[in-house]
Amino acid sequence: MKYIILIGDGMSDYPLKSLDNKTPLEIAYKPNIDKLTKEGKTGLVSNVPEGFSPGSDVANMSIFGYDPKKYYTGRGPLEAGSMGIDLKDGDVAFRANLITEENGVLLDFNAGHISSEEAAILIEDLNTYFKNNFNKNNFNKDVLNKSKFNGKFYNGISYRHLFVINNKELSDLNTAPPHDIVGEKIADYINWNDESSKIIKDIMEMSKDFLKNHPINKERVEKGKKPANMVWLWGQGLKPSLPNFKKLYGLKGSVITGVDLLKGIGIFAGLDIIEVPGATGYFDTDYNAKGKYASKAIKYNDILFIHVEAPDEAGHSGEVKEKIKAIEKIDKHVLGQILDELEKYSDYKIAILPDHPTPIDVRTHTMDPVPLTIYSSNNDTDEVKTYNELSVKKGSIDLSEGYKLIDYLISN
């Protein structure tokens, strides 16, 4: 039996006035997904347990078959795993966004989707700056005189980077995802008073002091682009320990994604990571390449996780047309090629779902259950004919705990 799990990140939504009170999933032309839905079983799945924020880290950990209540330690360490960063005892990994700050307000959580080439220079220069200046600056001298800076920035892709510091007390710090507070006053979210936390506050404020005058940002402003003039630290945690996926479920698997977070979950789970040229985690990701590489990987795997970030990015930026296009490209270029390849096999199952909703009008993740469709070559069906948030409510599947999806696929 072959298992395919296709994750359209954030693709479920709320009805939109601009779409005559329909959702992007209802509007999008997705003949492959709808065909599988008509011939398969559907329902709702909740990937985010109560008490957790509806982040992609928690939601996708559930989809991969791991209960976040047992295994989740933070987003940063998952991304560290994907970047090959060896976290030591006491190391706390933070996600580090390059953001745009303006007059004390978080204007843009991705600094105008700064290029990876520009970001690499900024991250390298930040490390040099902090190494030479952290214990000499004027921020909270009473704190800094007692502490030696032992942190380091690690370069990622575009605005997505990491910061690691050895201070386990910081793992419990209450940080805010920057995409949740666009337009808000920064001071309201870094108002920490304890000694350890002030170090992180200082790092963020010092980054602004340095980056605002960096030549790359001056050039971006001259060209009418948003500057990457501050670092935002969030999603921190200690190194997680996930049981090996193959030992847990008896399946050899691989992951295809353009996002470090998903790669990190896969690496900690002992899954293979398939690197796809042109997989960017944004609107310009190479859908055709993802479909091509996925099709080839089916032969060598029992289970394949394929993740596409673009619908989520469209939700965060409020771009409904881009979200519809992303859903249609997933259907045509990714799923279409997979279905062509699966014609060679007699036994397979395909599960299609988002990790969480990212509604256009909300521009961030929500806790709502997400639509799930499962096609089986065993011809297991229910009465639902099309795939969207409303129709699947009539389906036969009800998974209140998303981490049980893998067990459900195997046993049903």
| Span 115-143, pLDDT tens digits | 999 999 999 999 999 888 776 554 444 44
Q: Please say if the pLDDT value at position 198 is more than 70.
A: yes
Distances, alpha carbon 296 to alpha carbons 99, 293, 337, in Å: 38, 5, 10
What gap in Å lies between CA 130 and CA 208, rounded to an integer?
Answer: 12
Longest alpha-carbon distance in the chain: 68
Least confident of 95-104, 192-201, 308-317: 192-201
pLDDT above 70 covers a percentage of the chain that reads: 96
On average, the pLDDT of the chain sits at 93
Q: Please say if the pLDDT value at position 146 is more than 70.
A: no
- In this structure, which CATH number among 3.40.720.10, 3.40.50.450, 3.30.465.10, 3.40.50.300 belongs to the domain 2-72+241-411? 3.40.720.10
pLDDT for 347 equals: 95
As annotated, the residues of the chain forming the CATH 3.40.720.10 domain(s) are 2-72+241-411
pLDDT for 197 equals: 85
What gap in Å lies between CA 83 and CA 79, rounded to an integer?
Answer: 6
The answer to whether 182 and 106 are in contact (CB under 8 A) is: yes
Q: Please say if the pLDDT value at position 26 is more than 90.
A: yes
pLDDT above 90 covers a percentage of the chain that reads: 86
Q: 210-223: per-residue pLDDT in tens?
A: 999 999 999 999 99
Single pTM value for the model = 0.85
What gap in Å lies between CA 47 and CA 64, rounded to an integer?
Answer: 10
pLDDT for 142 equals: 44
The answer to whether 204 and 213 are in contact (CB under 8 A) is: no
pLDDT for 145 equals: 41
Least confident of 125-139, 208-222, 311-325, 343-357: 125-139
Range 79-85 average pLDDT: 90
